[in-house]
Amino acid sequence: MKKAVILTADQFEDMELMYPVFRLQEAGWKVDIAAPKKEAISGEGGYGQFMPDLTIDEVDPDKYDLLVIPGGSPDGAPAVVRKIKKAQEITQSFFEKNKPVASVCHGPWLLADSGVVKGRKLTSYWHDGVPESVKEAGGKWEDKEVVVDGNLVTSRWPADLPAFMREVMKITGK
């Protein structure tokens, strides 16, 4: 059974967490949600509440086949996760081993802060300084519904989720 880990925090974008969780589970994946603390987290739209399976500090990236980084508002989950050193280390580990990474909306802030986007093509939400952060980190930002660059799949926002998950499923072989 393939395993995915999702790095998030309270005030995530509901659809950007729930859609990948359900799509991966539907395909037979084991999906773990990791947050800063092992206490209930909620989506900013009020649709979903999840109890994390583990804390971000407890994640062993070698036990997972896919890393998913959802978004949220600029003051929500992405702003919290991008500052967590262990989240950056997990991200770096996935890139070092060329394992699939999928990120949407404000999630690419973590990619930029982890130093893994230099020379890579990707997209993100188009406001709130996300494209600027990607470019400052050496990434090549594109305004497209989905961008695939090797092991990396990125999208802009919830409306892009069908294209996003279609490409995630392709690169993971499911």
Show the tokens assigned to 23.
């799509």
Task: For residue 106, indicate whether it is catalytic.
Answer: yes
Alpha-carbon distances of 69 from 100, 109, rounded to whole Å: 11, 10
Q: For residue 33, what pLDDT is reported?
A: 98
Q: For residue 174, what pLDDT is reported?
A: 64
Q: What is the pLDDT of residues 1-27, one digit of tens each?
A: 999 999 999 999 999 999 999 999 999
Is-contact 94 61, C-beta < 8 A?
Answer: yes
Show the tokens assigned to 160.
């892009």
Select from 86, 62, 74 the least CA-distant residue to 7: 86
Q: Catalytic: which of 13, 56, 93, 106?
A: 106
Q: For residue 51, what pLDDT is reported?
A: 96
Helices 161-171 and 14-26: crossing angle, nearest 10°? Answer: 40
What is the C-alpha separation between 163 and 102, in angstroms, rounded? 12
Select from 68, 69, 66, 33 the least CA-distant residue to 51: 33
Q: What is the pLDDT of residues 94-128, one digit of tens each?
A: 999 999 999 999 999 999 999 999 999 999 999 99
Show the tokens assigned to 61.
């990236």
What is the C-alpha separation between 22 and 39, in angstroms, rounded? 21
The sign of the dihedral angle between the CA atoms of 7, 19, 72, 39 is negative
Q: What is the pLDDT of residues 37-91, one digit of tens each?
A: 999 999 999 887 899 999 999 999 999 999 999 999 999 999 999 999 999 999 9
Backbone angles phi, psi at 92, to 5 degrees: -60, -40
Average pLDDT over residues 132-159: 98
- Which pTM was predicted? 0.97
Domains and CATH numbers, the chain: 3-171 (3.40.50.880)
What is the C-alpha separation between 155 and 146, in angstroms, rounded? 5
Mean pLDDT estimate for the chain: 97
